[in-house]
Amino acid sequence: MNITFSKIAVPAQGVVVVGVAEGGAGGAKLGPAAAKLDKQTRGALSRAMKAAEFTGKREKTLTLVVPAGTKLSRILLVGLGSLKFLDAVAAERIGAVIYDAVAKDPSMVVILEGTGAADNALLAAHLAGGIRLKSYRFAKYRTKEDKDAKPKLKSVAVQCEYPADAKKRYAAVAAVVDGVFFTRDVVTEPPNIIYPESFVARAKELTKDGVKVEALGEAAMTKLGMGALLGVGQGSERESQLLILRWDGAKDKSAAPLAIVGKGVTFDSGGISLKPGAGMWDMKWDMGGAGVVVGLMRALARRKAPVNVVGLCGLVENMPDAKAQRPGDIVTSMSGQTIEVLNTDAEGRLVLADVLWYAQQRFKPKAIVDLATLTGAIIQALSEHYAGIFSNNDDLSAKLIAAGQAVSERLWRLPMGDEYDRDIKSPVADMKNIGGGRAGSITAAQFLQRFIKDVPWAHLDIAGVVWNEKGTALAPGGSTGYGVRLLNRFIADNYER
Ligand code: BES
Ligand code: MN
Ligand code: ZN
């Protein structure tokens, strides 16, 4: 999609979208361009707004088809809501609404006016970002498709008061959208295409963005003593991988990085503790955490973020097989701690245990954030509206929650503590990999914490938010890319410069 920014000049033909603020005496407030269109159509705009009770409420739309007095094919009014509350994420959501209304047209002009000098460029850039976020499609495996069902939108001209600034702002927004799309792509790929080694191959595309890409195979991980991760991959024909991505954008390249760790189970059958058949296909997106890591690295690299970040993905396929690990097996993690594997379907924590340990040993990070589709229990607790956050550090946790709030990828903190940790005591090993069945997301987090030394750490359980069949405000149905915008914002607000 080609997006350009220019000064406001109402076009003579085609589709024009005009943002209309809420205000005045409870009604809509037309900016100069909208007022000009109203005049040109001899008041058709005002009459239509009145008849449809369109007051400029945020995300509400009103369409005028072939308005008399013009050669336009359509005028789409879109509500901006109260300008006082119009922020970047609100602009993105408005962009997404515009996309849905105009996707079948090849091109459109969007006019954003009256927002005030300080915000105009930022809002225009994010509005454009929202259009792109919602336009995501994954059609590579379709060999036939109804032509009429296919979106046609190719070019978007955003007209605003400060187009040069908007264009600059948009460069950073577009980098993040690129990252989100990369995440959505890898997460959506089927599990016969994306497996540990092919995930690594896909991640190597990031070298073009300036990211350093490195991967360890099973021989190297065996040497490191990663018995917990390797046990999970043991029943798979595919070789397990540890993917390491580095973006050293800070002035001081040797400054301690931030570490972002992702669960990358490319397919989770449950292993010998096999999952039921219905819905098992969802487990292709059990690498959603790793998907966020690669998308985030793309976003940071493409916007040349002045920060050092290392991304690590534990990539395994969890399969039942004669060689697979059994319920009851005891494995030794890289940390030296032993784990009784009572349920081979609680595999994500086993993978993360070794990756978290490795991340701390090798990189001495100033903080660690992990993302994982770790538990079904988090979906019971929070549904699709929030991801769960667990942390040993109030400050880190507050910063992540604030970033999530700002980009509308919300987090809700759940408690941790010894009361819960007791639940994973084992009679024969240092711990077992499942709790007693209650508060399953918390016992999973307690398990992870046993592999954290004294570094600020947060664990995001994203099982409920990685995939959304109906779609969200900024994503069509399927993979959402949740986490990329959140961590990008968290890093931008707290670690850059
Ligand atoms: N990948 C699943 C968690 C999951 C479930 C993610 C549904 C997305 C949607 C994880 O590996 C798993 O199987 N967890 C078990 C843990 C249990 C055996 C303690 C679960 O949540 O049932
Ligand atoms: Mn599982
Ligand atoms: Zn899993």
C-alpha–C-alpha distance, residues 11 and 234, integer Å: 62
Residue 372 CA, ligand 2 centroid: distance in Å: 11
156 and 208 co-located in one domain: no
Cβ–ligand 1 distance for 377 under 6 Å, the answer yes
Residue 103 belongs to a domain: yes
What pLDDT shows up at residue 26? Answer: 52
180 and 156 co-located in one domain: no
C-alpha–C-alpha distance, residues 267 and 265, integer Å: 5
- Beta strands, E only, 445-492: 457-461, 467-468, 478-479
How far apart, in Å, are the Cα atoms of 337 and each of 149, 228, 334?
55, 10, 7
246 neighbors 257 (Cβ within 8 angstroms): yes
427 and 360 co-located in one domain: yes
267 neighbors 195 (Cβ within 8 angstroms): yes
Mutate to test the pocket of ligand 1, among 275, 352, 375, 433 (most ligand atoms within 8 A of CB): 375
Query: What is the β-pairing status of strands 155-159 and 212-216?
Result: unpaired
Token reading at 226? 């990663």
Residue 497 has pLDDT above 80, yes or no: no
368 and 225 co-located in one domain: yes
- Highest mean pLDDT among 18-32, 52-66, 112-126 belongs to 52-66
Residue 375 belongs to a domain: yes
Cβ–ligand 1 distance for 268 under 6 Å, the answer yes
216 and 331 co-located in one domain: yes
Q: What is the pLDDT of residues 333-370, one digit of tens each?
A: 999 999 999 999 999 999 999 999 999 999 999 999 99
Which of 131, 162, 193 is the last residue in one of the domains? 162
Residue 411 CA, ligand 3 centroid: distance in Å: 20
330 and 394 co-located in one domain: yes
- Average confidence (pLDDT) over 15-36: 89
Listed in sequence order, the residues at least 6 apart from 75 whose beta carbon sits closer than 8 Å to its beta carbon are 16, 17, 18, 37, 41, 45, 63, 64, 67
Which of 162, 187, 211 is the last residue in one of the domains? 162
C-alpha–C-alpha distance, residues 343 and 379, integer Å: 20
Residue 169 belongs to a domain: no
Residue 168 belongs to a domain: no
- Which amino acid belongs to residue 225? G
Count Cβ atoms below 10 Å from residue 319 Cβ, excluding itself: 22
Residue 456 has pLDDT above 60, yes or no: yes
170 neighbors 3 (Cβ within 8 angstroms): yes
- DSSP code of 189? S
Residue 140 belongs to a domain: yes
Query: Total domain count for the chain?
Result: 2
Q: Which residue in the block uniquely carries the two structure tokens 């070794």?
A: 354
Cβ–ligand 1 distance for 409 under 6 Å, the answer no
194 and 261 co-located in one domain: yes
Q: Which CATH number characterizes residue 344's domain?
A: 3.40.630.10
C-alpha–C-alpha distance, residues 487 and 176, integer Å: 10
Closest ligand to the CA of 264: 3
Closest ligand to the CA of 377: 1
Count Cβ atoms below 10 Å from residue 327 Cβ, excluding itself: 15
The range of the structural domain enclosing residue 60 comes to 2-162
Q: What is the pLDDT of residues 402-447, one digit of tens each?
A: 999 999 999 999 999 999 999 999 999 999 999 999 999 999 999 9
Q: Which residues are catalytic?
A: 275, 349
Cβ–ligand 1 distance for 373 under 6 Å, the answer yes
Residue 197 belongs to a domain: yes
Residue 423 belongs to a domain: yes
182 and 156 co-located in one domain: no
- Average confidence (pLDDT) over 29-42: 95
What pLDDT shows up at residue 276? Answer: 98
284 and 152 co-located in one domain: no
Cβ–ligand 1 distance for 161 under 6 Å, the answer no
Residue 345 CA, ligand 1 centroid: distance in Å: 7
Cβ–ligand 1 distance for 69 under 6 Å, the answer no
201 and 287 co-located in one domain: yes
Among 143-147, 291-295, 387-391, 449-453, which is the least confidently predicted range? 143-147
Residue 455 CA, ligand 2 centroid: distance in Å: 27
Residue 258 belongs to a domain: yes
129 and 186 co-located in one domain: no
Return the ligand 1 atom nearest residue 270 CA.
13
Closest ligand to the CA of 463: 1
Residue 206 has pLDDT above 60, yes or no: yes
- Average confidence (pLDDT) over 461-483: 98
What pLDDT shows up at residue 115? Answer: 86
Q: Which CATH number characterizes residue 112's domain?
A: 3.40.220.10
To the nearest whole number, what is the mean pLDDT of the chain? 97
What pLDDT shows up at residue 25? Answer: 61
122 and 236 co-located in one domain: no
Cβ–ligand 1 distance for 315 under 6 Å, the answer no
Q: What is the pLDDT of residues 230-264, one digit of tens each?
A: 999 999 999 999 999 999 999 999 999 999 999 99
Return the ligand 1 atom nearest residue 434 CA.
19
Which of 128, 162, 196 is the last residue in one of the domains? 162
What pLDDT shows up at residue 442? Answer: 98
Residue 289 CA, ligand 3 centroid: distance in Å: 11
Residue 140 has pLDDT above 80, yes or no: yes
